[in-house]
Amino acid sequence: MTAIDSVAPRMPQAPATPLPPGACDSHTHVFGPFDRFPLTQPSSYPLPMAPAALHAQMLDTVGAACGVLVQPAPYGSDPAPMLAALALGGGRLRGVGVADATISVTELTRWSDAGIRGLRFVEMRDPKGQRYAGSVDTTHLAALAPAMRALGMHAQLWASAADYQRLLPALLALEVPLVLDHMGCFDIARGPADAAFVHLLERLRAGQVWIKLSLCRVSKQAPSYDDLRPFHDAMVAANPARLLWGSDWPFVRMGDNAPDAGALLDLLAAWVPDPAVRRQILVDNPALLYGFV
């Protein structure tokens, strides 16, 4: 893999509303350089050239003191790009890796010591209806749960809201903190009264799950995302102490529709006008979950 096969990600403008000190972008990815960090799986999307230095520049531009890296599927369970970025981050980064039930406790401990605070499990399918190559599904979580509990790791889940109705009872019984990607991936067309979305709100209100407010994967009405506003408002009203904000930079599979992370933060400021609540979402909650100090 060479730079010829990659695309430059969209870089943000600074948000008009400055972020509070300690703010965190809780959902980002790094890719490359591909001569140093080749893929372990075939990619179903054009690859962004988004190495650690560019990721740091993105955080600096939007004013985020901290960031969380999430393992992308084309790297499978190879954490090398993430571990390199964590090592360069000077304590401002944490990671969410990918591992199946065969990983040793020794290796998982090494990851934890390096700053990886969770493991990602995927039930969503690629555009062809296939599992993303390199992803690990939730069937592995029960075997991994004892080691994850011992290390203080959480499970990050990417599934549909309808899937969560089926999956969450058994997963909650494992007593591993659960973080739901992309606002829980509900169906906007079904409206806020849909049973699957109401179920998400109930779990959120009870403090049983964390949810990432990442708009661009749920709505296609960029850049205003007007269709998401009632869902977003309902989540903030339900339990802001269990919400996180994530840009999803560098916006894989979005092409020219990739948003500006700074504009996404300005939308958060407009939709959550109370500075204390924004600070909770951007600073306090990620500090608690990921161990930022």
- The residues that are catalytic are 248
List all residues 6 or more positions away from 77 whose beta carbon is below 8 Å from its beta carbon: 40, 71, 97, 98, 99, 100, 103, 134, 136
Torsion of CA 178, 183, 189, 193, to 10 degrees: 60
Total length of the chain: 293
Give the start-end residues of each E strand in the chain: 6-7, 24-28, 47-48, 66-70, 93-97, 116-122, 154-158, 178-180, 210-213, 243-245
Distance (Å, whole) CA 274 – CA 227: 21
Structure tokens at 111: 């990851």
At residue 222, the 3 state secondary structure works out as coil
Distance (Å, whole) CA 270 – CA 132: 35
